[in-house]
Amino acid sequence: MAEVRAFSDAGAWAVACADRLADALSAALAADGAAFLAGAGGSTPEPIYRTLAPRPLDWSRIAVTLVDERYVPETSDKSNARLLKQTLLTGPAAAARFVPLYSEQVTVDRAGLLAAHALRAVGRPLDAVLLGMGEDGHICSMFPDNPALKQLLAPANPPLVLAVHRSRSTSAPREDRLSMNLPWLAQARRVILALTGATKREVFEREVGGDPSVSPIAALVAARGGDIEVLWTETAR
């Protein structure tokens, strides 16, 4: 079982998360001359991104993408790409190559196919992944009970970007989304799960022992043989 490392200070938590991501990127740059980072959206990662952005890495050799995205253009305040560009891709990190998941297409399914092609064209597995988790236990856009969940969690699939449609039978998501599937996360060299608040810690500790066919957290831990790093703080800054 993946252990939770707790931080009493939110600043130290953000630094620890950024340190781990920077170490993974630095190791990939040293070994291969390139690195690939995928990050989560939402408010939780913001202080981590702001801490990581000024790190003295060769950002020009780093590709950056998202683990999931709302099917909205960057002009929308709901766009994860917009968040990433405002918090991470600034200063030295602005030299990184951003690979978006969103593209304006007739259907979100078609956009997922194009995003998967663009990610594969980077030519390497993910070196570092920063994940968040919702209070319902979702990671990426792997929402419990959503019709897309089965395909997102299928371990035998190749790495894909799949459409997650609004569903009449479930409450989430509220808008169409695009999401990496589990095999992207399974092959990543380092996965950091950044959690804040007592509720999310309780949800993680409950879900980690759940059924990997229906619990995204349990599926992630099982796919990686427990090799994820969980960093938690009570209150984010």
Domain spans of the chain?
4-173+192-233
Give CA separation, 184 vs 14, 98, 124, 227, in Å: 24, 17, 11, 14
Cis bond leading into 54, ω under 30°? no
Give tens-digit pLDDT for 32-79.
Answer: 999 999 999 988 999 999 999 999 999 999 999 999 999 999 999 999
Distance CA 109, CA 195 (A): 30
For the stretch 102-107, contacts whose Cβ atoms lie closer than 8 Å and that sit 24 or more positions apart, written own/partner, are 102/69, 102/70, 102/71, 102/72, 102/73, 102/74, 102/178, 104/73, 107/163
Could you name the CATH architecture of 4-173+192-233? Answer: 3-Layer(aba) Sandwich (3.40)
Q: What is the pTM for the complete model shown?
A: 0.96
Best CA proximity match to 26, nearest among 62, 51, 50: 62
Region 194-215: what's the mean pLDDT?
Answer: 96
Better-predicted residue by pLDDT, 13 or 236: 13
**Model confidence band, residue 217 (pLDDT cutoffs 50, 70, 90):** very high
Give tens-digit pLDDT for 164-177.
Answer: 998 766 667 888 99
Q: Which residue has the tokens 């259907």?
A: 107
Average pLDDT, the chain: 95
Give tens-digit pLDDT for 100-142.
Answer: 999 987 799 999 999 999 999 999 999 999 999 999 999 999 9
Give CA separation, 106 vs 71, 110, 177, 190, 236, in Å: 11, 7, 14, 35, 38
